[in-house]
């Protein structure tokens, strides 16, 4: 560790350490220099959530995102897997302009384990306080609270609304980003540009194709701040591949020109993906309101989807009761006649019918759901908060909603309720 000479240091008034050093130097005239260690360039911090969630729907699982292996409902009556996680972050300040950060998070993964995964790992060069460049693994700021969506203590809710935050399954990018901030009086405007590649494993698929990936991702993000108000705008595009759906397109290609046309329309291999989002929050301290809207277009069987939410709460001493409403819908077709069975030989029709059935199952599986949430946050101790949240979800148009791991006997449509209890902490 570097040392700093203090031979010429003047003692601070009332500072006993400085006085002692001067005394030592006075008594040892032969000492040309006395050194003390500098503060470490490294710093450490962490966060965590201990949670339990219960769903009233026992023929499917409620999860916080589609990449979780299991959740509350069918897999477990009360599940700790939906929200529980722990994260640790090491930051380094090498020079006034150069810094680095590594953040590792342990939470339920695609295979049901809690193996740690790297969420952040980048180095930053700040040419000025308002202009910087980062390279490495960077969280994609698609949403209003993307940077701290996994830090439960930083959010009022138990979790950000799944209807909106489930639109984009990829949360980080391996590449570079540039950030530039400009102030206009009391208004601060920060523009971020990013480029990189992303990938994530799909639950219940251990094959090489069981992955969702985004290549050549380009993002443009703008955050405007004025007093207690924040406005966030996002645009992100990438070449998206959803591995598990690719065999469906391959199957259609065995059926001539009609099959090729369907495969080209619904294939999920390197298809143009786009996301547009807008979010805002006003939080003067005593109360808050927030809302976001987003839309994705996958140009594939995954379809075009939109979602939004609005939320508000009021702080009373250490308690913050809040309420939210969220909705997700499909903007593309949810059925397709598929292959014309009569056009093919009798021995090929069962395969063609199976492909048509699989195609429509995927199209109809797009979530159409609305959720009303009420909850309360209690800041029971320094850096510790207890939250209780109740969600009532209405599944619309016969879809499975945001539920996963659907079992035989599940009835599409209807309603389900989720009760969540979490303890969030920082360390």
Model confidence at 37, pLDDT cuts 50, 70, 90, reads low
pLDDT in tens, 395-409: 997 899 999 999 999
HEC secondary structure over the chain:
CCEEECCCCCCCCCCHHHHHHHHHHHHCCCCCCCEEECCCCEEEEEEEEEEEEEECCCCCEECCCCCCCCCEECCECEECCCCCEEEEEEEEECCCCEEEEEEEEEECCCCCCCCCEEEEEEEEEEEECCEEEEEEEEECCCCCCHHHCCCHHHCCCCCCCHHHHCCCCCCEEEEEEEEEEEEECCEEEEEEEEEEEEEEECCCCCCCCCEEEEEEEEEEEEEEEECCEEEEEEEEEEEEEEHHHHHHHHHHCCCHHHHHHHHHHHCCCCEEEEEEEEEEEECCCCEEEEEEEEEEECCCCCCEEEEEEEEEEECECCEEEEEEEEEEEECCCCCCCCCCHHHCCHHHHHHHHHHHHHHHHHHHCCCCEEEEEEEEEEEEECCEEEEEEEEEEEECCCCCCCCECCCCCCCCCEEEEEEEEEEEEEC
Which CATH number among 3.20.20.70, 2.40.160.10, 1.10.10.10, 3.40.920.10 corresponds to the domain 43-426?
2.40.160.10
The least confident of 19-28, 181-190, 380-389 is 19-28
Cα Rg of the chain, angstroms: 26
Give pLDDT, residue 128: 97
pLDDT in tens, 337-389: 999 999 999 999 999 999 999 999 999 999 999 999 999 999 999 999 999 99
| Rounded CA separation 295/61 (Å) | 24
Give pLDDT, residue 22: 28
Model confidence at 28, pLDDT cuts 50, 70, 90, reads very low
Going by C-alpha positions, the residue among 7, 45, 67, 235 that lies closest to residue 140 is 235
Whether the pLDDT of residue 61 is over 90: the answer is: yes
Whether the pLDDT of residue 198 is over 70: the answer is: yes
Whether the pLDDT of residue 31 is over 70: the answer is: no
Model confidence at 7, pLDDT cuts 50, 70, 90, reads very low
Structure tokens at 252: 């259609």
What residues does each domain of the chain span? 1-39, 43-426
Give pLDDT, residue 169: 82
> pTM higher than 0.85, yes or no?
yes
pLDDT in tens, 220-265: 999 999 999 999 999 999 999 999 999 999 999 999 999 999 999 9
Give pLDDT, residue 205: 56
| Rounded CA separation 219/183 (Å) | 22
Give pLDDT, residue 39: 76
Give pLDDT, residue 8: 35
Model confidence at 38, pLDDT cuts 50, 70, 90, reads low
pLDDT in tens, 282-331: 999 999 999 999 999 999 999 999 999 999 999 999 999 999 999 999 99
| Rounded CA separation 131/415 (Å) | 49
Structure tokens at 111: 């295979």
pLDDT in tens, 159-173: 999 999 999 988 999
pLDDT in tens, 78-105: 999 999 999 999 999 999 999 999 999 9
């Amino acid at each position: 560790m570097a040392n700093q000479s203090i031979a010429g240091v003047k003692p601070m008034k009332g500072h006993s350490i400085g006085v002692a050093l001067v005394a030592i130097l006075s008594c040892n005239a032969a000492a040309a220099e006395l050194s003390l260690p500098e503060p470490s360039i490294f710093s450490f911090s962490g966060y965590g959530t201990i949670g339990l969630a219960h769903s009233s729907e026992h023929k499917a699982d409620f999860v916080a995102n589609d990449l979780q292996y299991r959740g509350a409902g069918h897999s477990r009556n009360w599940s700790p897997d939906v929200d529980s996680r722990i994260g640790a972050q090491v930051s380094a300040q090498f020079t006034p302009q150069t810094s680095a950060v590594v953040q590792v998070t342990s939470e339920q993964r695609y295979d049901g384990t809690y193996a740690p995964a790297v969420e952040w790992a980048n180095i930053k060069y700040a040419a000025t306080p308002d202009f910087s460049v980062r390279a490495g693994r960077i969280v994609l700021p698609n949403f209003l609270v993307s940077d701290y969506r996994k830090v439960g203590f930083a959010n009022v809710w138990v979790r950000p609304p799944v209807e909106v935050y489930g639109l984009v399954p990829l949360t980080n990018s391996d590449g570079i980003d540039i950030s530039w901030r400009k102030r206009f009086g009391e208004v601060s405007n920060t523009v971020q540009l990013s480029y990189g590649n992303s990938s994530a494993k799909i639950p219940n698929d251990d094959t090489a194709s069981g992955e969702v990936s985004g290549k050549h991702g380009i993002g443009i993000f703008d955050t405007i701040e004025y007093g207690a108000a924040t406005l966030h705008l996002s645009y992100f595009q990438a070449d998206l591949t959803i591995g598990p759906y690719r065999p469906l397109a391959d199957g259609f290609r065995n059926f001539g020109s009609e099959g090729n046309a369907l495969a080209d329309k619904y294939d999920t291999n390197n298809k143009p993906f786009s996301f547009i989002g807008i979010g805002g929050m006003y939080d003067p301290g005593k109360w808050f309101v927030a809302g976001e809207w987003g839309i994705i277009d996958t140009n594939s069987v995954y379809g075009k989807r939109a979602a939004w939410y609005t939320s508000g709460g009021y702080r009373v001493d250490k308690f913050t009761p809040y309420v939210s409403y969220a909705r997700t819908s499909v903007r593309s077709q949810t059925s397709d006649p598929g292959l014309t069975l009569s056009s093919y030989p009798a021995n090929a029709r069962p395969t063609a019918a199976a492909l048509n059935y699989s195609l429509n199952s995927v199209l109809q599986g797009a979530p159409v759901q609305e959720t009303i949430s009420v909850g309360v946050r209690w800041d029971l101790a320094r850096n510790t908060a207890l939250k209780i949240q109740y969600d009532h979800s209405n599944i619309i148009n016969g879809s499975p909603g945001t539920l996963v791991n659907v079992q035989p006997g599940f009835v599409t449509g209807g309603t389900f309720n989720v009760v969540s209890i979490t303890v969030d902490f920082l360390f």
